[in-house]
Amino acid sequence: MEQEILINKKNYNILVIGAGHVGLVTAACFAELGHNVICVDNDRQKIKHLNKLKLPFYEPQLDRLVIKNFKKRLFFSSSLEKNIKEAEIIFIAVGTPPLPDGSADLTSIENIATIIASNLNSYKLIVEKSTVPVHTGKKIKETITKYKKNDLAFDVASNPEFLREGKAIYDFFNPDRIVIGVETKCAEKILKNIYAPFKAPIVVTNINTAELIKHASNSFLATKISFINAISKICDLCGANVKKVADALGLDKRIGKSFLDAGVGYGGFCFPKDLEAFIYISKKLGYDFALLKEVKRINEEQKLYFVEKIKEKLWVLKNKKIAILGLSFKPQTDDMRFAPSIDIIGAFLSEGSIIKAYDPKAIGQAKKIFSKKDNIYFATNPYDAVKNCDCLCLLTEWEEFKNLDFKKIKKLMNTALIADGRNFLDKEKLQKIGFDYIGLGV
């Protein structure tokens, strides 16, 4: 029996569909673990570049793993059908972009399920890796069953991804837990074999539960961030310090200290999109998840609150020059998707301010977002960005911003005002130099 052979294997022929953040990292890391991996994407240009070892985005350590495994155990292709036939395990890691109503667009997943069905030539384990709404696994199974042309067996499983951008390779090899949602012992055994090299606990559930774990994890983390951002506002109102509050909260083991950094809010392609999708799914299931709506509202409000605080100091924003340090939604990535910087810069631009922006990695992406007509200029370094500016806004906590020469910056600026959107800089040191410092709850 094919399944029995697979159950007893250590290394598999793996097909990863999608060469985005999740897909490419997963493919490179599985290859590093010794599996034979083919990563396919329907974007031919992307595959062409990958075959020349040009990566579509910046992720620390990823280039090293891709180069090391390329053409030994890691291959890139745009031909899905042929590679389905050769695969034992198929990981689906395609995008599920948000639709206007907040639901996830599952067109690509459905399409892939039909292509798998018509190319099913042996038992295969099909695993959802992308974040998908609960019941997607069930739909994939129904679709494959409907369109397949033979009575060959297959399994569907859910193995949600918890990788953080910028730390994705580290997270892959050092997971807190591995979640596998399965319907059969065979699927469970294969996934356990794949994850055998890891020490992390493996949580085995049914498919619906695994899908829900991903929604619950991301929503809970977003809730923590909005909670501390709400506290930061109260700190501003009563003269308390949110950093100290977060430290003390975090020392309680039941709460934990991570994801309690107040700032201009969360962004990226996961939290905003996943939260929206979870609110939508809950509603569809008959539950109004008002808590998550409030989490989202607090996150939106925090960006405008930050701009308001600057406006209070600068009075009129029209024609004021604002230096933005940090554009990506967080450090160690060039990802600008749903970055708080987009809304904050948008708010300044609509008031008539002039923006000079710098980011170590994301300027290329930012140039695609802002129009040439916008009053935004990109600087080649932080000192160039702050020249003649009325306010320096720090929006992403890149490590290199911590040790800038702030005495030099003060001399270069028009007025010595720093708005630290991540509570990242040393407030007392800056005040000693002579800066007026704005933080969030500090």
The residues that are catalytic are: 270
Nearest to residue 179, comparing CAs of 191, 167, 165?
A: 191
In what side-by-side order are the strands of the sheet with 36-40?
74-77, 36-40, 13-17, 89-92, 124-128, 154-158, 178-181, 202-205
- Our CB check for ligand UDX shows the closer of 161 and 276 to be 161
- Our CB check for ligand UDX shows the closer of 271 and 378 to be 271
Q: How many CB atoms lie within 10 A of CB 319?
A: 11
Report the alpha-carbon angle 426-250-337, nearest 5. 65
Residue 386 amino acid letter: V
Summary count for the chain: helices (H), strands (E): 18, 14
Question: To the nearest whole angstrom, how small is the minimum distance from the Cβ of residue 292 to ligand UDX?
Answer: 15
Under 8 Å CB-to-CB from 311, ≥6 apart: which residues?
Answer: 317, 351
- Our CB check for ligand UDX shows the closer of 69 and 341 to be 341
Question: To the nearest whole angstrom, how small is the minimum distance from the Cβ of residue 107 to ligand UDX?
Answer: 22
Question: To the nearest whole angstrom, how small is the minimum distance from the Cβ of residue 264 to ligand UDX?
Answer: 7
Question: To the nearest whole angstrom, how small is the minimum distance from the Cβ of residue 416 to ligand UDX?
Answer: 26
- Our CB check for ligand UDX shows the closer of 36 and 136 to be 136
CB 307 within 8 A of CB 348: yes
> Which residue's Cβ lies closest to ligand UDX?
270
Question: To the nearest whole angstrom, how small is the minimum distance from the Cβ of residue 440 to ligand UDX?
Answer: 10
Burial of 60 (0-12, 13-18, 19+ CB in 10 A): middle
Question: To the nearest whole angstrom, how small is the minimum distance from the Cβ of residue 173 to ligand UDX?
Answer: 15
Main-chain phi, psi angles of 414, to 5 degrees: -75, -50
- Residue numbers of the site for ligand UDX (CB under 6 A)? 161-165, 218, 221, 225, 259-261, 263, 265-268, 270-271, 329-330
Under 8 Å CB-to-CB from 175, ≥6 apart: which residues?
Answer: 162, 198, 200
In what side-by-side order are the strands of the sheet with 321-325?
376-378, 354-358, 321-325, 391-394, 417-420, 436-438
